[in-house]
Structure 1
Amino acid sequence: MARRVFLHIGAPKTGSTYVQNVLWKNHDALIDAGILLPGSSAVAQDQAMADLRQAPWRDTGVHWTWDRLAEKARKWSGDVIISNEGLGAATDAQAARAVQSLQPAEIHVIAAGRDLWRTFPSFWQQSIRARSGWRFGAFLRAVEQGKAEVFWTRHTAPHMLRRWGDLVPADRRHLVTVPPPGAPRDLLWRRFAGIMGIPEGLCELAEPTSNPSLGAAEIELLRRVNLALGDRYPLRTPYQKVVHRHLVDAVLKQRSEGLKFGVGMERADWVSDLAEQQIKELQDYPCRIVGDLDELRPAIMKQTTSPDELDEGQLLQVAVETIVGMLGHAESLSQRTGRDFETVLSRLRTRAAGGVRRRLRLATRQGS
């Protein structure tokens, strides 16, 4: 039976990819220290999350279900860590099922919070990278008009903590605040490691820029591609295998000089007011805060360009450069395929030659 289970439930774009990369990079060291990451990889825990949520885009043929993951956790005698930012979007019933499936271990719930000035553009970008097609301005207006409940329920700490945190005692609810720009690169990791009881120095740290944001033109280009796709490459697996692999990861993420975008100073007071409301909610909610609620106030607010404001000439230039990048990517894939074919052919020839030699030796012995 597991002693403690730490459920890191998100939110997206709060450094979760970085934390997961550190955890899985040090999987063996954590096992030696009595800490289990159930499943074969971060992908396995993602599959289990999709199964728990019964998400319409889940792949029903995958090996790792939530029940299988929970069984692995229950059989472990030490501590267990399950980390997936999609867990925060679970319904009340799904969260209750997850916690119940891991009992009688001592369950801890960890959520992370980030200031809204950075969260708004990050959320919208993630929605585009999940095949959405709405404009950035349309998203912000929806939030202003109270029509974007999915943003608050699935991507902010107060709502996630109420769904998950209410299922465990107050001293087992943890809120990690994401440090502001300029903070030490390992600070976020040290906050998580302290909650999970991971000894300092046990884990070799990974690079924190594992899931870079796209620039204004790049994300606007992807938005338009999503609209043009129609029914082709539906979310989630087909879209990831084709659009993410060959367009987002291979080309768009590699463009290092993308124009930054954000909310815009005309909404600065509105964002500040929302931040104060969120801080008040968390002050009133009984949980352990690791970091400082002041970090949920925007530290740097400056004018930026919205993707909606880009002119067609800018987008055309980026589109042409993207096509050139995809041609290079296609060429490298072709060359790799040729090398892989030659490698396989060489191995087959070697095995065949070895088989012939063995048969000749056998025939020689039999004839003598």
Structure 2
Amino acid sequence: MPKRVFVHIGAPKTGSTYVQNVLFGNAERLERAGILIPATFSAHDQAMTDLRQVPWRDPDLYWTWDRLLERFERWPGDVVLTSEGFGAATADQAKRAVESLRPAEVHVVVAARDLWRTLPSMWQQSIRARSTWRFGDFLTAVEEGKFEGFWEHYTANRMFQRWGDLVPPAQRHIVTVPQPGAPHDLLWRRFAGVLGVPDGVCELAAPESNPSLGAPEIEVLRRVNGALGDLYPHRLPYQRVVHQHLLRAVLQQRDNDKRFGVGLDRAEWVAELADQQIKELQDYPCHIVGDLAELRPGRMTESASPDDLDDRQILDAAIQTIVGMITHAESLRQQVPQQPAGMMARVKRGVRRRLVS
């Protein structure tokens, strides 16, 4: 059994993609240093959906929580498990996870980001996961306490306490996400300090993330989700089709220059929430890496909402999206080897002759 297991539980939209790219991209180097990143990122993600028993888990997926644990049961060093979805586990699910990792020393690692950036990012992430609600409806639901899932699944203090209460204070780690303008590797260096990764072990590339869509582009995706109806109810088929052929191939390739965010009419509300979150984390015994003051919003400026777009702007974006998908389809066609003229007819004739003989 491993000596220590670090479970990175999120939160979503806190630089997880960058951290995970470094971990899995340097898996062999880390293993030589005594730190195992078992299997693949996909395996961790599938194990998360099994642990949480989510209704959108594809029933044909191979990896379960128990299968992932089998991959490192004989490893004598440290192990890192990572999925931003772990943090949304219920108290009972988190308890099952921690207990199944013992007698290893279990550490819980969570990242925290300021709410001014988290709110629009989380709504956009929900649209990428097939939701259809409007941005204003989402903000109102959060503000009026009608969407507890936001606090449970996306804020460090809520998810941290569900998991953190299961381990001693010295084994609870919160990493704050630096404000814009900080060195690009600062977030990784903070994680590396928690995990005990020696300097120089990992090769760092420039941070990669899921590029944010602009207001017209995310509104097009939201309306497409609504038009899909019952198609692709499970996450994996939706990602294979909609993410691959619409989101990545077309929408993310556009300028996406019309940004959106929380309006200044909610600035005071967000600031009050930030202070409350900071106080809760200050009062919770844990290891803080970074500065909780980074959870206060930086520069708050007026932002448009996708709800404010007129029909012309949405139509223009939809037409350009169709053009992009036509170009994408043509590029896929060109990648398929073309059969010489008449070859298929000759193949069919040959098959018929063999059947007759």
Which TM-score bucket, shorter chain as reference? over 0.9
State the match for 1:112 in structure 2.
111
State the match for 1:2 in structure 2.
2
Residue 170 of structure 1, CA deviation: 0.3
State the match for 1:164 in structure 2.
163
TM-score in terms of structure 2 length? 0.93
Residue 338 of structure 1, CA deviation: 2.3
CA contact (8 A) 1:131 1:235 kept: no
Instruction: Choose 1 or 2 for highest CA Rg.
Output: 1
Residue 57 of structure 1, CA deviation: 1.2
Q: How many angstroms apart in 2 are the aligned matches of 1:212 and 1:185?
A: 16
CA contact (8 A) 2:176 2:294 kept: yes
Residue 300 of structure 1, CA deviation: 1.3
CA offset digits 1:223-273 (Å, max 9, x no partner): 011111111122312211111110001111111343110001111111101
Q: How many angstroms apart in 2 are the aligned matches of 1:283 and 1:74?
A: 35
Q: Please list, as runs of the form range in 1=range in 2, the aligned pairs for 1:1-368 lying within 5 A after superposition.
A: 1-39=1-39, 41-338=40-337
CA offset digits 1:171-203 (Å, max 9, x no partner): 000000000011100000000011000111211
CA contact (8 A) 1:89 1:153 kept: yes
Q: How many angstroms apart in 1 are the aligned matches of 2:208 and 2:265?
A: 29
Specify the code of the residue in structure 2 equivalent to 1:254. Answer: Q
Q: How many angstroms apart in 1 are the aligned matches of 2:307 and 2:315?
A: 14
CA contact (8 A) 1:130 1:235 kept: no
Q: How many angstroms apart in 2 are the aligned matches of 1:60 and 1:100?
A: 25
Gaps of 5+ in 1: 346-368
Q: How many angstroms apart in 2 are the aligned matches of 1:203 and 1:294?
A: 29
CA offset digits 1:110-164 (Å, max 9, x no partner): 0111000000001100110110000000011111111110000010000111110
Residue 74 of structure 1, CA deviation: 2.4
Q: How many angstroms apart in 1 are the aligned matches of 2:70 and 2:240?
A: 30
CA contact (8 A) 1:74 1:102 kept: no
Specify the code of the residue in structure 2 equivalent to 1:5. Answer: V
Other structure's SS at 2:55 match: coil
- Cα RMSD between the aligned structures? 1.3
State the match for 1:352 in structure 2.
none
CA contact (8 A) 1:250 1:326 kept: yes
Specify the code of the residue in structure 2 equivalent to 1:38. Answer: P
Q: How many angstroms apart in 1 are the aligned matches of 2:234 and 2:126?
A: 11
Specify the code of the residue in structure 2 equivalent to 1:215. Answer: G
Q: How many angstroms apart in 1 are the aligned matches of 2:28 and 2:255?
A: 34
CA offset digits 1:65-103 (Å, max 9, x no partner): 100111223221100000100000001111111111111
Identity in percent: 65
Specify the code of the residue in structure 1 equivalent to 2:138. Answer: F
TM-score in terms of structure 1 length? 0.91
CA contact (8 A) 1:73 1:102 kept: no
CA contact (8 A) 2:15 2:209 kept: no
Other structure's SS at 2:6 match: strand
CA contact (8 A) 2:217 2:256 kept: no
Q: How many angstroms apart in 1 are the aligned matches of 2:254 and 2:104?
A: 46
Q: How many angstroms apart in 1 are the aligned matches of 2:299 and 2:336?
A: 47
State the match for 1:356 in structure 2.
none
CA offset digits 1:21-73 (Å, max 9, x no partner): 1111111111111111112x101110111111111111232221100111223
Specify the code of the residue in structure 2 equivalent to 1:281. Answer: E
Residue 13 of structure 1, CA deviation: 0.4
CA contact (8 A) 1:7 1:107 kept: yes
Specify the code of the residue in structure 2 equivalent to 1:226. Answer: N
Specify the code of the residue in structure 1 equivalent to 2:319. Answer: V
Q: How many angstroms apart in 1 are the aligned matches of 2:66 and 2:232?
A: 29
Higher mean alpha-carbon deviation, 267-276 vs 55-64, is at 55-64
